[in-house]
Structure 1
Amino acid sequence: MSADHSALTFAGHVAVVTGAGSGIGRATAVAFAEAGAQVLGVGRREAPLKETAALHPRIGVLAIDVCGEGAPAEVIRTAVRRWGRIDHLVNNAGATAVMRLADTDEQTVTNLLALNVVAPSLLAHAALPHLRETSGTIINLSSTYGHRPMPGGAHYAATKAAVEQLTRSWALELAEEGVRVNAVAPGPTRTDVMLHAGLTPETADDMYAYERDRIPTHRIASPAEIAHWVLRMADPAGRHATGQVVTVDGGLELI
């Protein structure tokens, strides 16, 4: 689970991590806590969040749908009320959808945009006054498919392309204010996102096998490997890096 960022690099810092009930979000919450930060793990489902919180005493949780009315502001208020500051916002919560153009469903497109684009924007807006005070960071989670085609998943890929442009544009807007904005773009990673997209475990395994054969390193990433790069982009020692999209996909984007 650890991202191997063992020194207390983030002692005294506060990190908000969305989608913390499983996968990359859980691994990121644990990695920040192990590196000294107080962490607010956010997600829709209370039971998985409690499992995340049980992994480290510096993790607190908030069960809330970040797409709900007023939810982004409530997330930020909760963190500030509890710890008095925010240093890092990790916009990890997201959804995918396997949907060809011929099968396009309006509600699916709307839901993807709401969770993958609108919610991170409103969370960043709510956190910004606090990030200005701490010279903090925003780390957005994109995907290797944010900058390469994804047949059968065009709308998901489009939302991640939007995330990458938000990252670059916000970085330019906020550079003079000391707030850094970067993104991590994972390739195929072993999480439950495919199951939430409606695939059966067997179909998900087949997709992972297909991707593994295409990836130059012939590996599917673990959530902890992605969390490692999230913390690298948030590290105060990297204060000259902003507007970057770091792709962690075993070389998949190169082919």
Structure 2
Amino acid sequence: MGPDGRVVVVTGGTRGVGAGLTRAFLRTGAHVIICARHPPDDPAAPAAPAAPAAPGPRPGGGRFRPPPRGPSARGVAGAEFHRVELRDPDAVEEFLATVVRRHGRLDTLVNNAGGTPFRPLGEGGPARHARVVELNLLAPLTVSLAAYPYLRAARGSIVMIGSVSGGRPSPGTAAYGAAKAGLESLARSMAVEWAPEVRVNTLVLGMVRTERAHLHYGDAAGIAAVARTVPLGRLAEPDEVGEAAVFLASERAGYITGASLQLHGGGERPAFLDAATAHREDR
């Protein structure tokens, strides 16, 4: 992208994949603003000064807290952190308006915030599954709609962070998979409606090695076993995700919109191949 003062917002950019995205855009020289419900938990980072209270309640009960001017990055050096509830449209609109007031423009939005616990459909009840859909599908829609006027003015782009769970059965995370499938569809429709001013693409992620990978895949032996199911033999690194997002946001990808870029190391080896191989050995 080049050190040309471009302004990038990464939702959920404080850790894991989000931190990799943030670092990659920082390396281009862009101004990177990250937002989440909670500040980065890097114990080595200095605490940001307390933000002044908003002057009275706002309609809609928004929970955006504007930080003080100047660098307020915690966890990802060089980024600016804002605390935002992304499921609150009023808070999102105020947050993006503050970004544009401070930096003069918005060039790229990376809708990364999301995730889910493991929860079979028969457990937890519909309200909990609905919250997963809200976070992974409705929140990116909310942020994208609020960002659209600024991105249109800058002829910018949106990068959605999708998942292979949206293209295959996702037992234990069915609501998440459904939301990610919807996110890809949403991105394709946005790409058509908002062209030519705004490009919209999706990064479809497989398994990524983050600081919380052990919560999903177990200890080092478990992670190694899972990695062997990937044709490339390993999990992706967060910074690799970031570099792919930088490409989609760059002028080199200026004719790419409505696309889904698979970042999964070749996907998953079909189970029938192992079964077929075992059968041949028996013969």
TM-score (ref. length: structure 2): 0.78
Partner of residue 234 from structure 1, selected from 249, 259, 263: 249
Equivalent residue for 1:173? 193
Shift, 1:155, TM fit: 1.2
Equivalent residue for 1:44? 37
Structure 1 106/206 Cα, relative in aligned 2: closer, same or farther at 3 Å? farther
**What residue ranges of structure 2 are gaps of 5+ in the alignment?**
46-72, 271-283
1:67-82 correspondence runs (5 A): 67-68=87-88, 70-82=90-102
Equivalent residue for 1:186? 205
Q: In structure 2, what is the Cα distance between the partners aligned to 1:241 and 1:224?
A: 21
Q: Which moved more, 1:63-72 or 1:242-251?
A: 63-72
Q: In structure 2, what is the Cα distance between the partners aligned to 1:99 and 1:118?
A: 20
Shift, 1:212, TM fit: 1.3
Q: Is residue 228 of structure 2 the alignment partner of residue 216 of structure 1?
A: no
Shift, 1:254, TM fit: 6.6
CA contact 1:96–1:193 (8 Å) conserved in 2: no
**What residue ranges of structure 1 are gaps of 5+ in the alignment?**
1-7
Please say which structure displays the higher CA radius of gyration.
2
Q: Deviations over 1:43-100 (max 9, x none)?
A: 122243894546443x211012212352221221121121011000000000123222
CA contact 1:148–1:253 (8 Å) conserved in 2: no
Equivalent residue for 1:5? none
CA contact 1:96–1:194 (8 Å) conserved in 2: no
Shift, 1:206, TM fit: 6.8
Shift, 1:152, TM fit: 2.1
Structure 1 72/194 Cα, relative in aligned 2: closer, same or farther at 3 Å? farther
Shift, 1:193, TM fit: 5.7
Equivalent residue for 1:130? 150
CA contact 1:41–1:62 (8 Å) conserved in 2: yes
Q: In structure 2, what is the Cα distance between the partners aligned to 1:206 and 1:136?
A: 43
Structure 1 173/220 Cα, relative in aligned 2: closer, same or farther at 3 Å? same
Partner of residue 172 from structure 2, selected from 133, 147, 152: 152
Q: In structure 1, what is the Cα distance between the partners aligned to 2:131 and 2:213?
A: 16
Q: Deviations over 1:91-113 (max 9, x none)?
A: 00001232223325223212111
Once superposed, which parts of structure 1, at least 4 consecutive aligned residues long, lie more than 6 Å away? none
Equivalent residue for 1:115? 135
Q: What secondary structure sits across from 1:20 in the alignment?
A: coil
Equivalent residue for 1:143? 163
Q: Which moved more, 1:127-136 or 1:108-117?
A: 108-117
Q: In structure 1, what is the Cα distance between the partners aligned to 2:127 and 2:235?
A: 30
What amino acid maps onto 1:43 in structure 2?
Answer: A
What amino acid maps onto 2:264 in structure 1?
Answer: D
What amino acid maps onto 2:13 in structure 1?
Answer: A
Shift, 1:145, TM fit: 1.3
Q: In structure 1, what is the Cα distance between the partners aligned to 2:35 and 2:25?
A: 14
Q: What secondary structure sits across from 1:243 in the alignment?
A: coil
Q: In structure 1, what is the Cα distance between the partners aligned to 2:39 and 2:90?
A: 19
Q: What secondary structure sits across from 2:131 in the alignment?
A: helix
Shift, 1:210, TM fit: 4.5
Structure 1 54/189 Cα, relative in aligned 2: closer, same or farther at 3 Å? closer
Equivalent residue for 1:16? 9
CA contact 1:72–1:119 (8 Å) conserved in 2: no
